[in-house]
Amino acid sequence: MIGLGARGYIWRIAGAVAILGIFIAIVNHAAHGAFLEPSNVVRVLRQITYNCILGLG
């Protein structure tokens, strides 16, 4: 049986995933369907990697 604390944790995680999915759908719609193309996803991940490396120094 799942305790009350664990149930709240699961709901928070599910809510965060839902909000992230909605955000991605809005960005994809604003980009006229070009955001979720494989080549663009690779570019976005590459840019995130560069930013992390530069941020860590």
- Taking the C-alpha atoms of residue 25 and residue 43, their distance in angstroms, rounded to an integer, is 18
> In the predicted model, is pLDDT for residue 3 greater than 70?
no
- Taking the C-alpha atoms of residue 8 and residue 25, their distance in angstroms, rounded to an integer, is 26
What pLDDT, on a 0 to 100 scale, did the predictor assign at position 1? 57
Q: What is the mean pLDDT of residues 13-19?
A: 96
Select the more confidently predicted residue: 41 or 18.
18
> In the predicted model, is pLDDT for residue 40 greater than 70?
yes
Rounded to whole angstroms, what are the CA distances from 23 to 14, 26, 29? 14, 5, 10
Would you state the structure tokens that stand for residue 8, as one six-digit string?
A: 């709240």
Q: Tell me the Ramachandran region of residue 48: left when phi exceeds 0, alpha when psi lies from -120 to 50, beta otherwise.
A: alpha
What pLDDT, on a 0 to 100 scale, did the predictor assign at position 5? 77
- Taking the C-alpha atoms of residue 38 and residue 35, their distance in angstroms, rounded to an integer, is 9
Query: Over the chain, what is the mean pLDDT?
Result: 90
